[in-house]
Amino acid sequence: MTAVAPAPTVEGIRAAVAPILARLRATAAVRERARDYAFADVRALAEQRITLTGIAVRDGGAGGSVRDVADLVVAIARADSNVAQALRSSFLTANRVATRPDLPHREVTLRRLRAGDLFAGTSNERTGGASGSVSTTLRRDGDGYLLNGEKYYSTGGLYASWFSGSALDDNGDVVFFTVPVDRAGVHRLDDFDAVGQRLTASGTTRLVNVRVMAEEIAPRDNHLLDNPWLGSFAQLYLAAIEAGIAAAALDDAAAFGREKARPIKHSSASRSVEDPYVRETVGEIAARVHAARSAVLLAAEVLERVRGLTGAQARTAGAEAAVTVAQAGVVAIESALRAAELLFDVAGGSITDRDLGFDRHWRNARVVANHNPRRWKAAVAGAYHLTGEEPPTTGLF
């Protein structure tokens, strides 16, 4: 008889990925220097069907809440924030399945998630047009379509089995497509070269006469949603990455202070772990980590409460959740940046050795922060509290 795979659970997934995350944590700095992608470990994570966290058991998921998903993302980012970022499109796909019973091609997407498939996707282009403009085209050709264009910031593209994006059809309407990454004409380029998050596989996807079938296309959702802030989970995900980066800085600060640091000449302590200023520094880093993780998990709980609501209730709760997520983003960004800076106060010149790679924490946090400026987040939250003004519905809140 063929063995039946056990049903996934939140606890089972967390236990199964723990050794994988330990490997990622141990090799993160070396891999970044060598530009060595963690293909085997990302595949191992996918085989544990991590994206089923938060999807209902009745749909073949592991169950669990938005908080469970956010906590898992923090743990992945603590091990390697590049990997957490590369998995973002996959988790966003899973969240859409979990929250929208009316999602086009939902059963097909669920089947792919249950198989451990990973997703990449972006609507971003570098065509010189206005932000959000689409130049990629989808033209009728026989019984299907031909897709042509170029997408940038294809996060996770080198790891994924499926690529999704937006295109203009023959009528000039924006539609969404999903195609396998190994289809003829899909070219994934490893050309992402930011100061941080270098191994997120976020480069260009070039689409040259890619054959697309009708069942691989979905119309843009233009009807007025009860809760128009569908970007809240995507922003929460980024905040969770920042919280994980802060935690990684704490791990390195504590380990270096225990194992390698020496007290400064005029210190009153014989060991760095007894130096009051080292203790204060590590304590402040720990406080920042606590603040970031707490803010993220609280925002996840608020976002969870939007599920199942309709009408005016959904809009009111959605606006509150979007603002709460924005506030968590501010806390998480600033906590990660500060923790990454304070790490260097644990020791002297030796902690700046390039081989340690400790600078990556600040660089990674800085790049994640640039996805949606925290000044905008703070201003939107302020307007909401002062006047009740709703957040923008651009998809970034």
At residue 315, the pLDDT reads 96
Work out the end-to-end distance of the chain between its first and last CA atoms, rounded to an integer number of angstroms: 50
CA distances to 73, 74, 188, 237, 244 from 14, in Å: 11, 12, 31, 17, 15
What mean pLDDT do residues 169-193 have? 95
Q: Which two tokens stand for residue 321?
A: 């959740």
At residue 223, the pLDDT reads 59
The DSSP output letter for 8 is P
Domains and CATH numbers, the chain: 10-117 (1.10.540.10), 137-219 (2.40.110.10), 232-387 (1.20.140.10)
Residue 185: helix, strand or coil by DSSP?
Answer: coil
* Cβ-Cβ contacts under 8 Å for 301 (sequence gap 6 or more): 65, 66, 67
Tell me the C-alpha distance between 316 and 324, whole Å.
12
Q: How many residues does the chain have?
A: 397
Q: Check: CB of residue 277 under 8 Å from CB of residue 309.
A: no
Tell me the C-alpha distance between 362 and 343, whole Å.
10
Q: Check: CB of residue 164 under 8 Å from CB of residue 121.
A: yes
Question: Residue 148 — φ and ψ, nearest 5°?
Answer: -140, 135
What mean pLDDT do residues 38-56 have? 98
Share of the chain above pLDDT 90, in %: 82
CB-based burial label for 120 (10 Å; 0-12, 13-18, 19+)? buried
At residue 277, the pLDDT reads 87
> What SS3 string covers 95-110?
HHHHHCCCCCCHHHHH
At residue 131, the pLDDT reads 62
Does residue 36 have a pLDDT over 80? yes
What is the greatest pairwise CA distance in the chain? 80
Q: pTM of the predicted model, to two decimals? A: 0.95
At residue 276, the pLDDT reads 83
Does residue 141 have a pLDDT over 60? yes
Question: 333-371, pLDDT tens digit by residue?
Answer: 999 999 999 999 988 888 999 999 999 999 999 999 999
